[in-house]
Amino acid sequence: MGQAIAGRILAAGFELAVHNRTPERAVELVAAGARGASAIADACSGCDVIATMLADDAALEEVALSADGLLDTMAPGAIHLAMGTHGVAAIADLAAAHAAAGQTLVAAPVLGRPDAAAAGQLAIVAGGPRAAVRVCEPLFAVIGRRVFDAGERPEAAAAVKLANGFVLACAIEAMSEAFSLARRFGVAPEVLHGVLTGGLFAAPAYETYGRIIVDERFDEAGFTTRLGLKDVGLMLDAGREAAVPLPSANVVRDRLLGAIAHGDGERDWSVIAREQARAAGLE
């Protein structure tokens, strides 16, 4: 995802330095004209905006807060544009740390897959101080088809991104419950899938994930059970921070945990359907 975004930025004529903990991953971008940066400090040097696309909060904290990390090496006034999916506490804490260092954090998690990124078709949820968000807008214009404004707080953008994934998880869970009931009455999941996607649920969430469930193609993980549990966990953490009970998130969490307990942790997270079937004595 990071490479696809960087490729768009470079192709649009921006001056770009790239740093990857696995240097080979930057080779292609350097060949295309990016400046290769062997260290974070090098990547930050002379840059107005430093974008990160990291796998989790731990990676973000390491890159930002460790010695010679972003906080230490970004210039005063520079903007850290965090594009990964992160927890609200991690983003809020980091925003405070950057602010204390005279820098600014803008959170701009993206929705869409790497191929959408390469095509400049991502949706972007941006949160942060207005002036800093405005500085980032030319970048958003080349990587996304649409920008959603989450307001002045970077953690709000994180919350919106988590909420989107959570709504998807709930849709998968709901379909899974519905499929297991239908099976008990002798109805093929295929038929119910047709009913759903032929009507109120004619949308990718149900078409794509419903199809995986109907075909039981859980082994080709687009997004694993463990990653799903991580993100639902971040959603629940956000609920705790904000004192918002999220009973549907509890349901999903328990199915994901059960899937892991039954050995499906590295399968596609729509394996929730199999776990629900297990709970109904169908496996």
| Catalytic sites, residue numbers | 161
Q: How far is CA 249 from CA 177, 178, 234, 259, in A?
A: 15, 17, 10, 15
Q: Is 141 a binder of its own copies (CB under 8 A)? A: no
Q: Which of these ranges, 42-50, 77-85, 134-142, 155-163, lies near its own copies under the rule CB under 8 A?
A: 155-163
Of 120, 149, 211, 223, the one binding its own copies (CB under 8 A) is 149
Q: How many residues of this chain interact with its own copies, rule: CB under 8 A?
A: 79
| Least CB distance to its own copies at residue 156 (A) | 4
Q: Among the residues of 185-282, which ranges form H helices?
A: 189-197, 204-215, 225-242, 247-261, 272-279
**Cβ–Cβ under 8 Å, residues 136 and 126:** yes
Q: How far apart are the first and last CA of the chain?
A: 36
Of 60, 175, 212, 213, the one binding its own copies (CB under 8 A) is 175
Footprint (CB under 8 A) of its own copies, residues 35-74: none
Q: Which of these ranges, 56-64, 74-82, 136-144, 227-235, lies near its own copies under the rule CB under 8 A?
A: 227-235
Q: Going by C-beta distance under 8 Å and a sequence separation of 6 or more, which residues neighbour residue 18?
A: 6, 26, 29, 30, 34, 35, 36, 37, 43
In this structure, what token pair is assigned to residue 278? 């297990």
Lay out the sheet containing 49-52: strands in order across. Answer: 49-52, 79-82, 104-107
Q: Is 151 a binder of its own copies (CB under 8 A)? A: yes
Q: Is 248 a binder of its own copies (CB under 8 A)? A: yes
Of 26, 178, 212, 213, the one binding its own copies (CB under 8 A) is 178
Footprint (CB under 8 A) of its own copies, residues 193-222: 194-196, 198-206
Q: Is 125 a binder of its own copies (CB under 8 A)? A: yes
Of 40, 150, 227, 271, the one binding its own copies (CB under 8 A) is 150
Q: Is 263 a binder of its own copies (CB under 8 A)? A: yes
| Least CB distance to its own copies at residue 216 (A) | 18
Of 191, 215, 216, 222, the one binding its own copies (CB under 8 A) is 191
In this structure, what token pair is assigned to residue 153? 């707080």
**135/122 Cα distance (integer angstroms):** 19
∠ CA 220-248-124, rounded to 5°: 65
DSSP 33: T
Q: Is 99 a binder of its own copies (CB under 8 A)? A: no
Q: Is 250 a binder of its own copies (CB under 8 A)? A: yes
Q: Which of 135, 86, 77, 73 is nearest to 104 (CA)?
A: 77
- Give the amino acid at 87: G
Q: Is 120 a binder of its own copies (CB under 8 A)? A: no
Of 23, 46, 114, 245, the one binding its own copies (CB under 8 A) is 245
Paired strand residues for 177:
none
Q: Is 168 a binder of its own copies (CB under 8 A)? A: yes
Q: Is 129 a binder of its own copies (CB under 8 A)? A: no
